[in-house]
C-alpha cells in the first residue's frame, strides 16, 4: 500500500465526552440514587415498633416450633394438587391438540374458565357448592385441597404441556414418520420425551404457584392437625403477642419451599438452553 | 410389495399437482424412476423440487395426480402409508436426528418398533450401517456432540437400517459447512455404486453430473428438461436450464438478465 494513512475526519463542534466516560457517570448516578433510597427507608422506619409489632424475636421463636407441621401440610396439599393437576392437564392438552373439534372446544372452554376465575372461588365451590350440588361430602382435607387446587392448576398445566408439545420441531415428527413410525408411536417415542424436557422448567414454576395457592384452603375450615402455614400464621395473629410477627414467620416458611424450587427452575432452564445449543 | 414391479419402475409420478392455499407449487409433474437409477433433481429455490420429493412419501399430500411407489398407489386415500414409508428412506436438509437418543438408538428405534426386530438384530444392522458411513465408533454419542456432516451421515445410516428399496435425499448437503460436504457426498456415491435407487434434490452440480444417471431440471413447478446427466448439465437444450446453470456454475460473472 502506497497511499498515506488517512485520519478520521471528526465533524466540527464541541469535543464530546467519550462513551466510556459517559457510561461511568451513569453508573455513579445509579449508585447514588440507590444509596439515597436505602437511607430513606432506614431512617423513615420506626424500628422500635417494628421489633414489637412486626417481628418480635421471642414470639417468632415460640412460633417456629409449630411450623414444621404447617410446612408438611403445605407440601402435602401442594403435591396432592399437582398429582391431580398433572394428569388432568395432560388430558386437556391432548384434547386441545385433538383432531376432533368437540374435544378441542371442551378443553378450550375448561382452560379459559378456570384461568379466568379466582382460585379462591374454586376452593370455596369445592368446599361448599359441590357437596350441595352432588350430595357428596369429600371427607379429607387433603382430598378437598387437591381437587380444588388441582382443577385450577390443570388449566395452566394444560397450556404449558400443549406449548411444549408444539415446540418440538416439525422435522422430528417428519423424520419419525418417514421411517414408517405411526402417528401414535411418533408421539410416544419422539415427541413426548422431547416435550417433557421443554416443559420441565415451566412445570416447576407451576409447583411454586401451587405452593402459594395452598394458602387459600384454610377457608374450608380445618382441624388443628391439618393446619398449613397460612392458617397457623393467622391463628397466631389473634392469640399471641408480637402483632404481625406470625405473618412474617409464615412468609419465611413459604420461602423455604419456593426459593429452592426457583433455583431448580433456573437450573433446568439453563440445562434446556444448553441442550438447544448443542443441537 | 417387497419385490419391485415387473417393469422395474420404482417410482411413477403422473400429472402431479400440489397447491399451498392459492399458490400452485407443482403444476403437472410426470416422472419415472427405474430400479437402480439415481435421479438428481436440480432447479432454483422455489421451483418445487423439495415438494415433489416430499409428495413421493406423502409428507406432503398431493392436490391431484397419481403417484405409485414400489407398486403401491400412495395417492389412494386408503393407502397404508406407514408400510410404504418403511421401504422408502428419507434424508433431510436439517438431518432431523432424534436429539434425545444416542446415535445407535436413532438407528434402532424404528427397526425395533416398526420392523419388530430384536434388540440384538437391530443393533447389528445399525452398527453395520454406521460402519458403512464411517461412524461406528460414534455409536454411543448423542447427535449434539457430532458435526453437521457426521449428523447427516448418521441420518443416512438411520434410513439405511430399515433396508429401504428407495432413498430420497432432500438437499442433504445444503446445511453443511463446505468442508463437510465431501464426506456426505462420498457416502451417497458409495450408495449409488451399490445399486440403490435414489432421488436426490441437490445444488451440487458436480455430484449430479458424476453420480446421477439422469438429471431433472425443474422451474416454476414444472419439469423443464430431463435427460442423461451429461446432457442436461453439460449441454442443456432449454434456455431456462442454460440460464440457471450459468448462474450456479459461474456466480460471479455478469449476466445480461441479472
pLDDT tens digits along A194-204: 998 899 999 99
pLDDT at A2: 57
Residue B26 reports pLDDT greater than 90: yes
Q: Which residues of B touch A275 (CB under 8 A)?
A: 99, 144
pLDDT band at B239 (very low <50, low <70, confident <90, very high): very high
Mean per-residue pLDDT of chain A: 88
Task: Please spell the DSSP secondary structure of B217-242, one letter per residue.
Answer: EEETTEEEEEEEHIIIIIS--SHHHH
pLDDT at A248: 85
CB-defined contacts A:B, below 8 A: 68
Residue A275 reports pLDDT greater than 70: no
Share of chain B above pLDDT 70, in %: 95
Option in A178, A194, A275 nearest B90 (CB)? A178
Ranges of H-type helices in A117-244:
119-124, 130-134, 141-167, 170-178, 183-186, 192-213, 229-239
Q: Is B66 helix (H, G, I), strand (E, B) or coil?
A: strand
Instruction: Give residue-wise pLDDT tens across range A216-247.
Output: 988 888 787 788 888 888 887 777 577 788 88
Q: What mean pLDDT is predicted for residues B19-33?
A: 95
A177 at B interface, C-beta within 8 A = yes
Q: What mean pLDDT is predicted for residues A257-267?
A: 92
Cβ neighbours of B191 (radius 10 Å): 21
Q: Which residues of A touch B129 (CB under 8 A)?
A: none
pLDDT band at A250 (very low <50, low <70, confident <90, very high): confident
Option in A172, A180, A197 nearest B114 (CB)? A180
Q: Which residues of A touch B170 (CB under 8 A)?
A: none
Distance from CA of B198 to the nearest CA of A (A): 15
Contact (CB<8Å) A181/B113 = yes
A253 at B interface, C-beta within 8 A = no
pLDDT band at B104 (very low <50, low <70, confident <90, very high): very high
Contact (CB<8Å) B98/A190 = yes
Tell me phi and psi for residue B219, to 5 degrees.
-150, 135
- B220-224 LR contacts (CB < 8 Å, sep 24+): B220/B27, B220/B47, B220/B48, B221/B24, B221/B25, B221/B26, B221/B27, B221/B28, B221/B29, B221/B47, B221/B48, B222/B27, B222/B28, B222/B29, B223/B29, B223/B30, B223/B31, B224/B43
Distance from CA of A90 to the nearest CA of B (A): 21
Residue of B nearest to A274 (CA): B144
A279 at B interface, C-beta within 8 A = yes
Give CA separation, B232 vs A241, B48, B222, in Å: 95, 18, 15
Angle at B191 between CA B190 and CA B195, to 5 degrees: 110
Residue A278 reports pLDDT greater than 70: no
Q: Is A111 helix (H, G, I), strand (E, B) or coil?
A: helix
Contact (CB<8Å) B113/A189 = yes
pLDDT at A8: 74
pLDDT at B4: 45
Residue A1 reports pLDDT greater than 60: no
Cα–Cα dist A178/A186, whole Å: 10
Residue B252 reports pLDDT greater than 90: no
Mean per-residue pLDDT of chain B: 93
Distance from CA of A175 to the nearest CA of B (A): 6
A77 vs B258, more confident: A77
Residue B227 reports pLDDT greater than 60: yes
Test mutation, A169, A174, A178, chain B, max B CBs within 10 A: A178
Cα–Cα dist A141/A163, whole Å: 33
Residue of B nearest to A188 (CA): B113
Q: Which residues of A touch B82 (CB under 8 A)?
A: 177, 180-182
**Closest Cα partner for B81 from B108, B101, B52, B59?**
B59
Residue A92 reports pLDDT greater than 50: yes
pLDDT at A220: 84
Distance from CA of B243 to the nearest CA of A (A): 33
Q: Which residues of A touch B158 (CB under 8 A)?
A: 179
Cα–Cα dist A147/A168, whole Å: 31
CA A45, A46, A48, A54 torsion-angle sign? negative
pLDDT band at B76 (very low <50, low <70, confident <90, very high): very high
Distance from CA of B158 to the nearest CA of A (A): 9
Cα–Cα dist A206/A163, whole Å: 14
Give CA separation, A92 vs A83, A109, A178, in Å: 15, 10, 28
**Of A87-96, B30-39, B244-253, which gets the smallest average pLDDT?**
B244-253
This prediction's pTM: 0.81
Q: What mean pLDDT is predicted for residues B57-79?
A: 95
Q: Is A216 helix (H, G, I), strand (E, B) or coil?
A: helix
Residue B191 reports pLDDT greater than 60: yes
pLDDT band at B57 (very low <50, low <70, confident <90, very high): very high
Using only C-alpha atoms, chain B has a radius of gyration, in whole angstroms, of 18
Option in B59, B99, B145 nearest A174 (CB)? B59
Cα–Cα dist B62/B225, whole Å: 22
Cell numbers for B112, please give them.
425395533
A276 at B interface, C-beta within 8 A = no
ipTM of the complex: 0.91
CB A84 within 8 A of CB A150: yes
Residue B66 reports pLDDT greater than 60: yes
b/e per residue A85-105 (b: at least 16 CB within 10 A): bbebbbbbbbbbeeeeeebee
Contact (CB<8Å) A279/B144 = yes
Q: What mean pLDDT is predicted for residues B156-169?
A: 97
Residue B114 reports pLDDT greater than 70: yes
pLDDT at B258: 43
Place of cell 428399496: B165
CB B104 within 8 A of CB B112: no
Strand pairing class (B222-228; B214-219): antiparallel
Tell me phi and psi for residue B67, to 5 degrees.
-130, 130
**Closest Cα partner for B200 from B152, B168, B158, B232?**
B168
B139 vs A45, more confident: B139
Q: What mean pLDDT is predicted for residues A48-69?
A: 80
Residue B3 reports pLDDT greater than 50: no
Strand pairing class (B198-201; B166-170): parallel
Q: What mean pLDDT is predicted for residues B167-175?
A: 95
Q: Is A120 helix (H, G, I), strand (E, B) or coil?
A: helix
Residue B236 reports pLDDT greater than 60: yes
Contact (CB<8Å) A180/B57 = no
Report the helix count and the strand count for chain A, using DSSP H and E. Answer: 13, 0
pLDDT band at B2 (very low <50, low <70, confident <90, very high): very low
Amino acid at each position: 500500500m502506497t497511499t498515506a494513512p488517512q485520519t478520521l475526519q471528526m465533524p466540527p463542534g464541541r469535543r464530546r465526552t467519550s462513551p466510556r466516560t459517559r457510561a461511568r457517570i451513569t453508573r455513579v448516578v445509579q449508585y447514588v440514587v440507590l444509596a439515597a433510597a436505602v437511607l430513606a427507608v432506614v431512617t423513615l422506619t420506626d424500628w422500635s415498633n417494628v421489633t414489637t409489632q412486626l417481628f418480635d424475636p421471642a414470639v417468632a421463636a415460640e412460633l417456629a416450633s409449630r411450623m414444621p407441621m404447617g410446612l408438611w401440610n403445605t407440601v402435602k396439599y401442594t403435591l396432592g394438587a399437582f398429582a391431580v393437576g398433572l394428569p388432568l392437564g395432560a388430558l386437556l392438552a391432548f384434547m386441545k391438540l385433538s383432531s376432533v373439534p368437540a374435544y378441542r372446544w371442551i378443553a378450550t372452554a375448561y382452560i379459559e374458565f378456570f384461568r379466568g376465575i379466582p382460585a379462591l372461588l374454586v376452593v370455596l365451590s369445592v368446599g361448599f357448592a359441590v357437596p350441595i350440588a352432588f350430595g357428596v361430602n369429600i371427607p379429607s382435607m387433603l382430598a378437598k385441597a387437591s381437587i380444588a387446587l388441582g382443577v385450577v392448576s390443570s388449566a395452566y398445566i394444560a397450556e404449558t404441556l400443549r406449548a411444549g408439545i408444539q415446540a418440538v420441531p416439525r422435522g422430528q415428527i417428519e423424520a419419525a414418520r418417514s421411517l414408517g413410525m405411526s402417528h401414535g408411536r411418533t408421539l410416544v417415542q419422539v415427541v413426548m420425551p422431547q416435550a417433557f424436557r421443554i416443559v420441565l422448567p415451566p412445570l416447576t414454576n407451576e409447583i411454586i404457584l401451587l405452593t402459594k395457592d395452598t394458602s387459600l384452603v384454610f377457608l374450608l375450615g380445618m382441624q388443628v392437625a391439618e393446619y398449613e402455614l397460612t392458617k397457623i400464621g393467622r391463628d397466631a395473629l389473634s392469640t399471641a403477642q408480637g402483632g404481625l410477627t406470625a405473618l412474617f414467620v409464615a412468609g419465611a416458611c413459604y420461602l423455604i419451599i419456593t426459593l429452592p424450587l426457583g433455583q431448580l427452575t433456573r437450573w433446568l432452564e439453563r440445562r434446556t438452553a444448553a441442550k438447544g445449543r448443542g443441537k | 410389495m417387497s419385490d419391485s414391479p415387473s417393469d422395474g419402475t420404482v417410482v411413477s409420478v403422473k400429472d402431479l399437482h400440489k397447491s399451498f392455499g392459492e399458490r400452485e407449487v407443482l403444476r403437472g409433474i410426470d416422472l419415472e424412476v427405474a430400479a437402480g437409477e439415481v435421479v438428481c433433481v436440480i432447479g432454483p429455490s422455489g421451483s418445487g423440487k423439495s415438494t415433489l420429493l416430499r409428495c413421493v412419501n406423502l409428507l406432503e399430500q398431493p392436490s391431484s395426480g397419481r403417484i405409485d411407489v414400489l407398486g403401491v398407489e400412495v395417492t389412494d386415500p386408503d393407502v397404508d402409508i406407514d408400510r410404504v414409508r418403511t421401504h422408502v428412506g428419507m434424508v433431510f436438509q436439517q438431518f432431523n436426528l432424534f436429539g434425545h437418543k444416542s446415535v445407535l438408538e436413532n438407528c434402532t428405534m424404528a427397526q425395533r418398533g416398526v420392523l419388530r426386530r430384536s434388540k440384538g438384530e437391530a443393533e447389528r444392522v445399525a452398527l453395520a450401517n454406521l460402519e458403512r458411513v464411517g461412524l461406528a465408533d460414534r455409536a454411543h454419542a448423542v447427535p449434539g456432540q457430532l458435526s453437521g456432516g457426521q449428523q447427516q451421515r448418521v441420518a443416512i445410516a438411520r434410513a439405511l437400517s430399515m433396508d429401504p428399496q428407495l432413498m430420497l435425499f432432500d438437499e442433504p448437503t445444503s446445511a453443511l459447512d463446505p468442508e463437510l460436504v465431501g464426506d456426505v457426498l462420498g457416502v451417497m456415491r458409495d450408495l449409488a455404486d451399490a445399486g440403490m435407487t435414489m432421488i436426490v434434490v441437490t445444488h451440487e452440480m458436480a455430484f449430479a453430473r458424476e453420480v446421477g444417471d439422469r438429471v431433472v431440471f425443474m422451474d416454476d413447478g414444472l419439469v423443464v428438461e430431463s435427460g442423461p446427466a451429461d446432457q442436461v448439465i453439460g449441454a442443456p437444450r432449454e434456455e431456462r436450464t442454460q440460464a440457471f446453470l450459468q448462474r450456479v456454475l459461474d456466480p460471479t460473472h455478469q449476466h445480461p438478465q441479472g
